[in-house]
Chain A
Amino acid sequence: MKRTLSKTTATPIIRSAMILSRIPIVVRELTKLESNYYKYQSELEKRLMWTFPDYYYFKKGSLSEHKFIKAQNYPVSKIPGVWYPHGIPDIKRRRERRSKQEIVLPRDKIEDDVSLVGSSGSTKGSTDGAKGSISRPIVPNDLKTEADKKGNLQTVERELSRTLYLLVQDENLGWKFPSFVVEGNDKGLHDIAEQAIKSLSQNEINTWLVSKTPVAVFEDSDDGSYEFFLKSHILAGTFAMKDNTFKQFAWLTKDEIKNHVTEQYFRNVEFLLAN
């Protein structure tokens, strides 16, 4: 009903807002239920796996076969007249058929020494142990970045496992997604929002607009203006504020957005944001 009315009145103010997001760089952490279930499944799979055909991978009588056999903890086979409290061993091809097969990879002593030095000496993936570097333990990089430690909100290099959204602080309206007034009819909503975001930034940024169609609309009951939301992703470049259109900006996760914006605003955009 309002829409039929608005046709007759003067055209209301239209704003085009951009939800600019940075997709996660690291996959999200598994919940406790998920990690426990995956562990259970992988143990089941190992239990039901066929015996490892080592004769296929190691030539008979070779040194590598010898090393491999030496590293294994083969199960004890059945001896007549012996009582086994945990059931009679059932061994085929040196595997206990009632449980999963444990394969131990042989490791050279020299390589072990080098890897020990590498891990204790420097954590920054150094190549000082060039000879044994192939077998050095793999240490994943820290999930917490410099920005996380310092609490710097103005960079995309934070909260790597979450989706970040660009929010700006307006003098009067507080924190919100950057929005721009649409003037004239020659440019679409998406053009205005994209160009405005790019001109807002000091450095060039590469963005990708998901769609030209708006994903949501807010109607401001005070001044009768409409705010249309468009979604876009940042792909490269560093966003930094060029002028004083907005007070400041921040890259925030959904939880942090909840603390920054008003309750009403968050309720309106909540379903548009990824966890």
Chain B
Amino acid sequence: MNNRQTIRSLIQQSRSWTSSPSSYSYSYIHNGATIQFIRNKRTTSAASSSSLKKMGRNSAESLSPPLQRAVTQLSVLSARKKMPRLLKLSNEDLIKHQTIEKAWMLYKKDKAIERSMRLQRQYESIQDALDTLESINPHLYKLATSTNGEGNGRFPLEFRLPTDAPPNSEKLWPQQFSSTNLQK
């Protein structure tokens, strides 16, 4: 049940108007709280007049701070009064938009095809290399394909992701490295 319905039902029950509803402004008293209407719009807050009253109001006009905080937070999440207008594109703009989207789709598709072809070629190359190795030297083939025990192991933590901008020149590349420190 929202506040508007509550208010409407209250109005219907009591009918204690100070002036006629058709006039510019009118007010209505309920439980000691005055509800103001200007151009048929209520100007006092809904929260101060109705169901929220029981939950912690310290005066007729304002809410208690924690309650006011909750109301503000809820209003941040709500779309009320915050939605922009819907986009209405003219025919020309619509065609422009569709062209842009289509071009982007084609560009992505081309890149994906290129990538999958390169991967395919790399895969075939690996297979060819392994077949050749097996026929020339079965022992080396066994060493190259064995998965047991020590190997390249874990993915190195020293790997650094590319960033948008380069680091300062002294930190560009870890120049010094010693394997003795690494094993500690």
CA distance A45 to B19 in the complex (A): 48
Q: Kindly provide the distance from the CB of B76 to the nearest chain A CB, expressed in whole angstroms.
A: 5
Binary CB contact string for chain A from 222 to 256 against chain B (1 if under 8 A, 0 otherwise):
00001011000101111000000000000000000
Asked if residues B152 and A211 are in contact (CB atoms below 8 Å), the reply is yes
Let me know if B34 is at the binding interface, CB within 8 A: no
Known contacts A50-B82, A51-B82, A211-B152; A188 and B174 CB within 8 A of each other? no
A contact residues around B73 at 8 Å (CB): 56
Q: Which residue of the partner chain, among B79, B126, B146, B179, contacts A215 with CB atoms under 8 Å?
A: B126
B contact residues around A50 at 8 Å (CB): 79, 82-84
CA distance A25 to B173 in the complex (A): 9
Q: Kindly provide the distance from the CB of A251 to the nearest chain B CB, expressed in whole angstroms.
A: 11
Let me know if A33 is at the binding interface, CB within 8 A: yes
Q: A residues 193-224 with Cβ under 8 Å of B?
A: 203-206, 208-217, 219
Nearest to A51 among chain B residues (CB) is B82
B contact residues around A25 at 8 Å (CB): 160, 162-163, 166-167, 172-173
Asked if residues A208 and B173 are in contact (CB atoms below 8 Å), the reply is no
Let me know if B125 is at the binding interface, CB within 8 A: yes
Binds B, one of A6-14, A67-75, A128-136, A173-181: A6-14
A contact residues around B2 at 8 Å (CB): none
Asked if residues B136 and A6 are in contact (CB atoms below 8 Å), the reply is yes
Nearest to B126 among chain A residues (CB) is A215
A contact residues around B166 at 8 Å (CB): 25-26, 140-143, 145, 160
B contact residues around A27 at 8 Å (CB): 162-164
Q: Kindly provide the distance from the CB of B9 to the nearest chain A CB, expressed in whole angstroms.
A: 28
B contact residues around A143 at 8 Å (CB): 165-166
Nearest to B182 among chain A residues (CB) is A206
B contact residues around A235 at 8 Å (CB): 156, 158-159, 174
CA distance A70 to B82 in the complex (A): 21
Asked if residues A205 and B140 are in contact (CB atoms below 8 Å), the reply is no
Let me know if B14 is at the binding interface, CB within 8 A: no
CA distance A33 to B104 in the complex (A): 8
Asked if residues A26 and B163 are in contact (CB atoms below 8 Å), the reply is yes
Q: B residues 119-155 with Cβ under 8 Å of A?
A: 121-122, 125-126, 128-133, 135-137, 139-140, 143-146, 151-152, 155
Known contacts A24-B162, A56-B72; A271 and B135 CB within 8 A of each other? no
CA distance A27 to B72 in the complex (A): 41
Let me know if B178 is at the binding interface, CB within 8 A: yes
A contact residues around B129 at 8 Å (CB): 213-217, 228-229
Q: Kindly provide the distance from the CB of A29 to the nearest chain B CB, expressed in whole angstroms.
A: 11
Let me know if B87 is at the binding interface, CB within 8 A: yes
Q: Which residue of the partner chain, among A188, A206, A229, A271, contacts B143 with CB atoms under 8 Å?
A: A188
Nearest to A214 among chain B residues (CB) is B129
**Most chain A CB within a 10 A radius of its CB, from B145, B152, B158:** B152
A contact residues around B107 at 8 Å (CB): 33
Asked if residues B162 and A14 are in contact (CB atoms below 8 Å), the reply is no
Known contacts A3-B131, A97-B84; A26 and B165 CB within 8 A of each other? yes
Binary CB contact string for chain A from 34 to 47 against chain B (1 if under 8 A, 0 otherwise):
00010010000001
B contact residues around A142 at 8 Å (CB): 166
CA distance A216 to B136 in the complex (A): 15
A contact residues around B131 at 8 Å (CB): 3
CA distance A53 to B80 in the complex (A): 11
Asked if residues A14 and B178 are in contact (CB atoms below 8 Å), the reply is no
Q: Kindly provide the distance from the CB of A233 to the nearest chain B CB, expressed in whole angstroms.
A: 7
CA distance A26 to B163 in the complex (A): 5
Can you list 22 A-B contacts (CB < 8 A)?
A14-B140, A25-B162, A25-B172, A26-B164, A33-B104, A53-B82, A56-B75, A92-B81, A92-B82, A98-B84, A140-B164, A141-B169, A143-B166, A157-B169, A157-B172, A204-B177, A204-B178, A212-B144, A217-B129, A226-B133, A228-B133, A236-B176
Interchain residue pairs A-B with the least CB separation, the first 10: A188-B143, A140-B165, A3-B135, A237-B177, A236-B174, A236-B177, A50-B82, A217-B129, A51-B82, A214-B129
Q: A50-B84, A56-B76, A236-B174 are in contact. List 8 more A-B contacts (CB 8 A).
A: A6-B136, A24-B162, A33-B103, A50-B82, A98-B85, A208-B152, A208-B159, A213-B126
